[in-house]
Amino acid sequence: MIREISTERIPIKLWLPDPEEGALTQARNLANLPFAFGHVALMPDCHQGFGMPIGGVVALQNVIIPNAVGVDIGCGMCAVKTTLTQISTPQLKEIMHDIRQAVPLGFKHHNQPQDHGHMPQERNLEQMPIVAREYEKARHQVGTLGGGNHFIEIQKDMANHVWIMIHSGSRNIGKQVADHYNRLAIKLNQQWKSSIPKSAQLAWLPFDSDEGQSYWREMQYCVDFAFANRKLMMDRVIEVMHHHFKGTLNMFPMINIAHNYASRETHFDNKLIVHRKGATLASEGTTGIIPGSQGTHSYIVKGKGNPDSFNSCSHGAGRVMGRKQAQKTLDLKNEIKKLNEKGIIHAIRSKRDLDEASSAYKNIDVVMRNQQDLVEVLAELKPLAVVKG
């Protein structure tokens, strides 16, 4: 931890020296919630979000806040290490072409619904009205990347092993669940004359209420769907890799970890609802993934179980500027040049793509230094080729 702010109802503990003012205001709002427990934790990739800062962790007593999970419920990372140690640029280009054919990107969906077996299993849809409503549409979306900062990346570790890494979430079904329950919470908070101002965007539900339990079930389904989504994409990327390296390629077990969800956990001898929004579980021994930008290294890490962070760490590098600001201010030729000089097959083609340029993100080396008390680095991964949504 770098510093602590003690001016609010509960402290704010920071793993970065200078969060942007908007994120800090949101952290103060969290710290003044009457049901917030202990302290608020801000990870080193922290930046402003909706209601709760991205890279924020808050533990609540018997309360759940849809906006403190966010619209991309269950968004997270998965990664697979391969036995492959040599791959050429022409091979990479062919592989990335085939990945684009195998995995719908951006707003694209599958033309045909995917098999029910690719969807989360053993769930009672009768108790999940929004999931039930969106289920058939979601069958067209499972195994699709989405847009924004979601990516499929081919990487290489320091021992030259090739890795596959995917960042994606719960697609539209997660957004529908998040929006429905946030609207419901706003309506109920108004009826209850909640003391929390609507402008804070932190409408809440009692965890044990019918509404809170309904959101909890649907949120959990979306977390499972996001995992199923990543797994199906990974399976299809692995099929592409096997096609190009017949009989010479094996895979290690997949690592998967989410960074937008709420979880029932015990901290400081209290049973709490821990909300991680753009933050990753880093309990002792937990294997996690911290990606950089498409021009910088990513990391496979092992959690140290730091209680001050509620066993959490950053979910990535974190943005240093908004998407529109990046598109307006960054130099396209310069951003392309930087990636080309590193030999990365990248996704920067026009000014529209600058929202995902490396310069739009914080320095991942600084982010990793700021959380040495949260995680241990197991592997450092260099980007070779990137597909963006």
| Residue with the two structure tokens 């496979």 | 300
140, 180, 315, 346: the catalytic one is: 315
DSSP assignment letter at 345: B
Buried/exposed code over 344-355 (b: 16+ C-beta within 10 A; e: otherwise):
bbbbbeeeebbb
For residues 366 and 314, the answer to whether their CB atoms sit within 8 Å is: no
In whole angstroms, what is the distance from residue 139 CA to residue 224 CA? 13
In whole angstroms, what is the distance from residue 136 CA to residue 222 CA? 14
Q: Minimal CA–CA distance to 60: which of 26, 31, 27, 25?
A: 31
Q: Minimal CA–CA distance to 330: which of 351, 349, 345?
A: 351
Three-class secondary structure of residue 353 per DSSP: helix
In DSSP terms, 3 is beta-bridged to: 14
Q: At what angle do helices 129-141 and 210-244 cross, to 10 degrees?
A: 10
Alpha helices in 118-265 (DSSP H): 129-141, 171-191, 210-244
Which helix (H) or strand (E) is 164 found in, with range?
Answer: strand 162-168
| Residue with the two structure tokens 């890279």 | 55
In whole angstroms, what is the distance from residue 30 CA to residue 109 CA? 37
In whole angstroms, what is the distance from residue 369 CA to residue 371 CA? 5
> Is 315 a known active-site residue?
yes
In whole angstroms, what is the distance from residue 186 CA to residue 70 CA? 15
| Residue with the two structure tokens 């200078």 | 18
In whole angstroms, what is the distance from residue 135 CA to residue 118 CA? 12
Three-class secondary structure of residue 45 per DSSP: strand
In whole angstroms, what is the distance from residue 379 CA to residue 299 CA? 6
Tell me the catalytic residues: 315
